[in-house]
Amino acid sequence: MSTDLDRTTVEEAYARWAPIYDVVFGAVFEPGRKAAIAQVERIGGRILEFGVGTGFALPAYKRSNRFVGVDISEPMLQKAREKVEKERLTHVEGLCLMDGAQMGFADASFDVVVAQFVITVVPHPEETLDEMARVLRPGGEIILVNHLGAEDGLRASFERWFARRARKLGWRPEFQLARLRNWARQNGTVEMIEARNVALGMYTMVRFRKLAADATGEAEADDKVMMAG
């Protein structure tokens, strides 16, 4: 079975979730969200909040940072805009309706790209991660927090069984860390620097660092040497 999601299915799912998302998922995701925010603020600067949704996390960030939020769901973004206006979130530069696989930002536009509980629900994860890496400056970080699928055992079996049903909710319960490792190797401009459990093992934080241009070239040269050998 394909692990890709249909964009229409995702948009329809989040249009349904938008009015109740904060109530249903706010407390559930809070421990993972706090871990992501803490890591983002160790870096700071200009930050892309990918899959900003209703903007639930935006008020928690320090006003010394600058934020741009993107999402594929207009109903979710409308909730975020209302939150920005109501709470006077002056550190938010803009909220944009965008397909993550085709973001309209220049290369190296951000110091940090953070995606909370998003990478398992976007229609095309690898293409989206490629875009995150493209818009990130050298030395910057991509920070993901998510539930990730089990590698083996009963939970892995259940997640594979549940996957088809979960598609209707716009979710991939069987999405594993290995898929992120493979993406980093194939992309070649980033390195995975951390993958650790947070919130008592409920979620996983995965961090990638953008390599400098010369480091990327060296890695490509090493690959060619290995292939030649």
Confidence at residue 175, expressed as pLDDT on a 0 to 100 scale: 79
Confidence at residue 120, expressed as pLDDT on a 0 to 100 scale: 86
Confidence at residue 1, expressed as pLDDT on a 0 to 100 scale: 38
Which letter, b or e, does each residue of 139-155 get, where b requires 16 or more Cβ atoms within 10 Å of its Cβ? Answer: ebbbbbbbbbbbeeeee
Q: Is 136 helix (H, G, I), strand (E, B) or coil?
A: strand
Confidence at residue 227, expressed as pLDDT on a 0 to 100 scale: 37
Query: To which H or E segment does residue 129 belong?
Result: helix 125-135
Q: Which of 67, 211, 188 is nearest to 138 (CA)?
A: 211
Tell me, what amino acid is at 127? E
- Residues 84, 72: Cα–Cα separation, whole Å: 18
Confidence at residue 10, expressed as pLDDT on a 0 to 100 scale: 62
Q: Are 9 and 170 in contact (CB under 8 A)?
A: yes
Tokens of 223: 């690959």
- Residues 79, 81: Cα–Cα separation, whole Å: 5
Max CA distance (Å), the chain: 61
Q: Are 116 and 51 in contact (CB under 8 A)?
A: yes
Q: Are 173 and 9 in contact (CB under 8 A)?
A: no
Alpha-helix residue ranges (DSSP H) falling in 18-124: 21-43, 74-86
One pLDDT digit (tens) per residue for the chain, 229 residues: 344 566 666 666 555 555 555 545 555 678 888 999 999 999 999 999 999 999 999 999 999 999 999 998 899 899 999 999 999 999 999 999 998 889 999 999 999 999 999 998 888 999 999 999 999 999 999 999 998 864 656 655 545 644 565 555 555 656 789 999 999 999 999 999 999 999 767 889 999 999 997 666 555 545 544 334 4
Domains of the chain: which residue ranges?
A: 7-228
Tokens of 196: 């650790």
- For the whole prediction, is pTM greater than 0.95? no
- What is the DSSP secondary structure assignment for residue 208, as one 8-state letter? E
CA dist list (Å): 128 to 88, 98, 196: 30, 11, 22
Tokens 């973001």, located at residue = 103
CA dist list (Å): 203 to 9, 92, 149, 179: 24, 26, 10, 16
CATH numeric code, 7-228: 3.40.50.150
